[in-house]
Structure 1
Amino acid sequence: KHDKQNTEASEHRKQRTEQTINTLEKNFEKIDQFLKTNSPRQGQGKQKKEVKSNITDNESAKMTTSKGTIQGYNGVATVDKKHQIIIDGTAFGAGQEHHTLTPVMETVLQRYRRLGISEDIYAEQVVVTADTGFANEANMNMLHRHDINAYIPDNKFRSRDPKFADQKETYGKRKRPKSVKARAVVFPNTEFEYDPIKRTCICPAGESLRNVPDRLFDDGLKLIGFQARLNQCRGCKLIEKCLENPKSPLDRKGHGRFVSFTEEKATGKPCTEWMKRRVDSPEGKQIYSHRMSVVEPVFGNIGTNKGLNRFSLRGQEKVDGQWKLFCMVHNIEKWFKYGALAV
């Protein structure tokens, strides 16, 4: 009986091993076929870098949502302000959406021509607004080149508006205050002698700090950093007033005092600067403030009322069809309720 049990167990292990090998061979064949028939996929970010492919649906992409990062698609819509009718809708699989502005606007232009409404809708009294996800130099260049009356802010436009100076404190999330240890008061950057021409920095104790690599930001600012060496801070009579943690330089893995200074620089993005001036103007602020009441209710209706909180199909063509179908249902509802008033 014992020998029979051993034989059955050995046979079971053999079957499981064969099944595992068979599964691995199928996966290998699937991946091998995918690599032979698909080219590397390029991202749509500022730098065209290769992104991870997806064997199940390679036209999809990683999307950052309120529920975390998921693999899927994103839907964009062009909405008429007066009636909230969706003029154009398209779904795409990319983490960035700025690359969709030109093809979407071209589609709208051709649709108006085909319907005999207007040969050039953008040449008429039409204003185009879009959120910050569509703001980059290429899009601003296209709008400026075609003389399109558009307002698309960059992601720093509210920080330049005095009206939003206390927005975070007034309307931000209210969190329970944590009992944290009060930070020690140290010398501010103004106590350091910084020479932007010679790129030198002298600390309050008279030591010359070494320059560390600069950091560049999208808003045109450059961060100039300086770091003190450990032997400069060790034994310094001002260490208690200069470092939040005076014991840090005593450890060989510690660090000395770090200070940084921001420096304005030419962005090399004239069309972005042109759009900044438009958005920051009183007229631009007034026009862009209406975008929230134009397009966001449409997405709320489709996502909440119609229940499309996630695409249920795979492949660019199928997902785009599903998105257009929901957009069409939204339009039919608008025409049914307000069609008589819209004539």
Structure 2
Amino acid sequence: MPFRPYEQDQMFLLPPSLNEWVRQDNPARVFSEIIDRLDTTTFRQQKEEGRPAYHPAMMIKVLLWGYATGVRSSRKIEEKLEEDVVFMWLAGLEKPDFRTLCLFRTTNKEALEKIFTDVIIVAKTMGMATLGLVALDGSKVRANSGINTFKNLRDWKELLKEAKDEAQRIISEAENIDKEEDKIHGDNKRGDEIPKEIEKAQDRIEKVEALIKKAKELGKEDESRVSLTDAEAGLMHKGNTSIPAFNAQLAVTEDQLIVYADVTAEPVDVNQTKKAVEGMKKTIKEKPEILIADTGYAGGEKFKYLEDNKIDGYIPSEDERRIGIKKRQKAREHLFAKEDFTYNKCEDKYTCPQGEILGPTARTQFKSKYSKREVTTYRTERGTCTICPLREKCTTNIKLGRAITRDGYEEYRERMREKINTTEGRLIYRKRKCLAEPVFGQIKIRNGFGQFLLRGLEKVRIEWKIVATAHNLLKMTAAIMRKEKILPALV
């Protein structure tokens, strides 16, 4: 049987159509159609003089398709525009270089944030991204800095002093050499040449000075560990180790669309509940009806905020496995729990299981790096617990007796605890594992996003919004491809 003709230099009678390069059922077509419905007028306006700028719609398609398919590096995207048919089709055969792609990504913060919002609005017209139930979660994402670049701020200050001393030593040596050479060769040498050693020392001084200045602006203390390459990144625990990272936050709907995306340099989630709700209000002008999150987002102040905003929150104060179990340390499991004491709000007193009264005896303020609260301690009159027949089931402190602590948000904690301990409350809370956690998995595994490319908190936030937008576009594309949803017609 003869072979089919094979000719790499084949000529075409008519030029081939760019539209024929991509199959009609390729997801990139739907991806492109969705972006065609977005407003791109907020991107930087081209200048009247000079070469015309690339169209923002093309740049958005190329950038977002790159993030959706695990190609995030500007240089890698530039390569794809030369050799990948889908990228070439999305770009209309335009070939912006990596510097142009990088600049577009880092200088259009507000416009890219608006694209994130506009994609959600398009999703809503398709019947997706409904803010009924929303799951909030965070994950540590590796920063673009090495662990060896971290030192205590005090050590950086000492290193700066050493670098300045070294620079002064090199200058003194150079001056002495000049004097000796002048004696031998005369005064013909200019004497203003900078030794290479000075250049290196000066470069190190400038970098460390900039780092110390940035650390002071961020309120870092001398014991804080700071990276020379990214002063805003932190060493955060992940598993059984610590990595240079940022804390990436997501709020996800029941159809796994992201309606809130942000990044914080704080390693804990305790201050993110209110920020997430306010962020949703700002971007899509709505708030969730139900909000679920893990214990990292718990706190009486947060529970009060949710109640004040009429949001039905499900955030346990303890690990999911201990929901409904009285919270006691293992060594004190045989003792009465706080829930066994009855609080009288009008009299501001507790009644113990034996019927004795515990009144307020002290108020203490607790302040950590990321939160603060005032706690009131309640005790019985001295000596009461000593003669109590239930003492062995209540306290190990024979001298002072049993103490109960309470802050101004205890009633909100109690209501949250009671709500989550119901059958309905547990069923609602269990949905968290099916919403936010799989989305993080899809972003990190399917989309290949394991590390930020940009540096600095503001730039990292831009990149995270791009990641979230690409994820949403993939979800919408998949729903349309499965014929579950219909993309609205262009107006």
For this structure pair, what is the TM-score category when the shorter chain's length is used for normalisation? 0.5 to 0.7
1:86 paired residue number: 258
Equivalent-residue separation in structure 2 for 1:89 and 1:105 (angstroms): 11
User: Are residues 1:35 and 2:212 paired?
Assistant: yes
Among candidates 415, 438, 449, match of residue 274 of structure 1:
415
Q: CA deviation at 1:157?
A: 5.0
Among 258, 262, 271, the residue aligned to 1:99: 271
C-alpha contact 2:256 2:435 (8 A) present in aligned 1: yes
Structure 1 position 267, deviation (Å): 2.6
Which residue among 228, 233, 254 is the counterpart of 1:60? 233
The CA deviation at 1:276 is: 2.0
Question: Aligned-pair distance for 1:25?
Answer: 5.2
CA–CA distance in 1 between the matches of 2:284 and 2:458? 23
Contact 2:293 2:314 in 1 (8 A): yes
**Are 2:316 and 2:323, in contact at CA under 8 Å, matched by a contact in 1?**
no
Counterparts of 2:236 and 2:333, CA distance in 1 = 39
> Is residue 150 from structure 1 mapped to residue 313 from structure 2 by the alignment?
yes
Indicate if the aligned counterparts of 2:235 and 2:245 stay in contact, CA closer than 8 A: yes
Residue 189 of structure 1 contacts residue 260 of structure 1 at CA under 8 Å; is this kept in 2?
A: no
1:273–1:66 Cα change, 3 Å: same
**2:438 counterpart letter in structure 1:** P
- Deviation of 1:303 after TM superposition, in Å, equals 0.8
Deviation at 1:266, TM superposition (A): 2.8
After TM superposition, the structure 1 = structure 2 runs for residues 1-343 of structure 1, keeping only pairs within 5 Å, are 23=200, 26-36=203-213, 38-39=215-216, 41-42=218-219, 51-66=224-239, 68-81=241-254, 83-113=255-285, 120-122=286-288, 126-161=289-324, 263=402, 265-268=404-407, 269-270=409-410, 271-339=412-480, 340-342=483-485
The answer to whether the 8 A contact 1:42-1:50 is kept is no
| Contact residue 60 and residue 94 of structure 1 kept, 8 A | no
1:247-289 Cα shifts (integer Å, max 9, x gaps) = xxxxxxxxxxxx9669561331323333222222222111101
Q: 1:149 to 1:27 in 2, by over 3 A?
A: same
Deviation (angstroms), 1:65: 1.0
Give the deviation of 1:337 after TM superposition: 1.5
The alignment partner of 1:336 has SS state of helix
Say if 1:59 and 1:93, in contact at 8 Å, map to a contact too.
yes
1:120-155 per-residue CA deviation (whole Å, 9 max, x = no partner) reads 544xxx211111221123322211222211111123
Q: CA RMSD in A?
A: 4.0
Cα gap change, 1:263/1:158 in structure 2, threshold over 3 Å: closer, same or farther? farther
Counterpart amino acid of residue 315 in structure 1? G
Match of 2:187 in 1: none
Q: Distance in 2 between matches of 1:108 and 1:307?
A: 26
Instruction: Give the Cα separation in 1 of the matches to 2:439 and 2:467.
Output: 11
The one-letter code sitting in structure 1 at the alignment partner of 2:406 is T
* Alignment partners' CA distance in 1, 2:430 and 2:206: 54
Q: Residue 298 of structure 1: CA displacement?
A: 0.8
2:90 maps to what in 1?
A: none
Residue 97 of structure 1 contacts residue 134 of structure 1 at CA under 8 Å; is this kept in 2? yes
Which of 97-106 and 70-79 deviates more? Answer: 97-106
SS of the aligned residue for 2:321 comes to coil
What is the distance in 2 between the residues matched to 1:189 and 1:308? 44
Secondary structure of 1:267's partner? strand
Post-superposition Cα deviations, 1:186-215, rounded to whole Å, max 9, x if no partner, equal: xx999xxxxxxxxxxxxxxxxxxxxxxxxx
Shift in CA distance, 34/287, structure 1 to aligned 2, threshold 3 Å: same
Task: Specify the code of the residue in structure 1 equivalent to 2:484.
Answer: L
Q: Choose 1 or 2 for highest CA Rg.
A: 2
Unmatched runs of 5 consecutive residues or more in structure 1: 1-13, 114-119, 163-187, 191-215, 223-258
| Cα distance in 1, alignment partners of residues 226 and 437 from structure 2 | 32
Q: Which sections of structure 2, spanning at least 5 residues, go unmatched?
A: 1-172, 175-194, 326-331, 335-365, 367-372, 378-394, 487-491
Instruction: Check 1:53–1:136 CA distance in 2 against 1; reply closer, same or farther (3 A cut).
Output: farther
Change in Cα spacing, 1:37 to 1:314, as seen in structure 2 (3 Å) is closer
The separation in 1 between residues aligned to 2:333 and 2:235, in whole angstroms, is: 40
The 3-state SS of whatever aligns with 2:271 is helix
Residue 205 of structure 1: aligned partner: none
Deviations 1:43-92 (A, max 9, x none): 8xxxx9984444421221222113621112121111111x1111121122
Compared with structure 1, are the counterparts of its residues 266 and 273 closer, same or farther at alpha carbon in structure 2 (3 Å cutoff)? farther
**CA distance in 1: counterparts of 2:431 and 2:464, whole angstroms:** 24
Identify if the C-alpha distance between structure 1 residues 299 and 156 changes in structure 2 by more than 3 Å, giving closer, same or farther: closer
- Separation (CA, whole Å) in 2 of partners of 1:274 and 1:336: 41
RCO comparison, higher one (Cα < 8 Å, 6+): 2
Distance 1:145 1:272 in 2: 14
Residue 156 of structure 1, CA deviation: 4.1
Alpha-carbon distance, 1:159 to partner: 2.2
Percent identical pairs in the alignment equals 23
Instruction: Note if contact 2:257-2:472 (Cα within 8 Å) is conserved in structure 1.
Output: yes
